[in-house]
A and B are shown apart, each in its own frame.
Chain A
């Protein structure tokens, strides 16, 4: 059952990722990214990280992508034109580099750095275990990131205002 789910999720994630980086219309790219994020949440569920899967859907797919779609619809942009001039060489080089990157990583993975199977676990990914770690061992980082969110909020409002 799990390999089937894995194959389906991989197909969904890769296809939607390709649509994001190739489609001319930016709104379609944004909707496809939302599908990609839901596929990643499916991966988290497959790994039994339930809390992170739900957070991924709520925060990433449900809030960030809606914000991106909101901005795209407000700006009402035309379809992206093809890059003029030396665009083809740049795209070709990017593709070659990406393939080289994936090949290098596949080579490293084939050396067995990550082990070949997951251990059985019953406490992994529950809200309780993540919450406990977050509020005891990573407490300072938690407080720092809440400060960062406040700063980002103020920054976003100031940057987008018409008149200060």
Chain B
């Protein structure tokens, strides 16, 4: 197993996290912003599990498990909000949601 370097895996995690950040800052649709947040969460999970493997402990995996569960809950509630907003504004673009009233 030890032909891999933990630093390469953490670098991949960093690159994916940066991709997620660029996605959140660049995209206009609410659902694609949610998807970019999912990329960031996955990058963090990868880092958790890499470190868990370095120390041979299950703790990092438990953290990643909880992050996965939280991401599921967040995706469900986020999508419900997007649906409710779509019914109101007929569009999911976040630039349209710039008024507090209706």
Question: Does a CB–CB distance below 8 Å link A and B in the complex?
Answer: yes
- A interface list, Cβ under 8 A from B: 2-3, 6, 10, 13-14, 17-18, 20-21, 26, 29-30, 33, 36-37, 40, 43-44, 46-49, 51-52, 55-56, 59-60, 63-64, 67-68, 71-72, 74-75, 77, 80-81, 83, 90-91, 93-95, 97-99, 101-102, 105-106, 109-110, 112, 114-121, 123-125, 129-130, 132-134, 137-138, 141, 145, 148-149, 151-153, 155-160, 162
**A101 touching B14 by the CB < 8 A rule?**
yes
**A80 touching B27 by the CB < 8 A rule?**
yes
- B interface list, Cβ under 8 A from A: 1-12, 14-23, 25-29, 31-32, 34-36, 38-39, 42, 45-46, 49-54, 56, 58-59, 61-62, 64-66, 68-77, 79-84, 86-87, 92-93, 95
Number of residue pairs across A and B with beta carbons under 8 Å?
245
**Which of B4, B49, B66 contacts A49 (CB under 8 A)?**
B49
When distances are taken between beta carbons in the complex, the residues of chain A under 8 Å from B56 are: 119, 121, 123-124
CA distance A17 to B45 in the complex (A): 15
* Contact (A75, B92) CB under 8 Å given A48-B53, A55-B65, A106-B14: yes
Q: Mostly helix, strand, loop or mixed at chain B's interface?
A: helix
Q: Mostly helix, strand, loop or mixed at chain A's interface?
A: helix
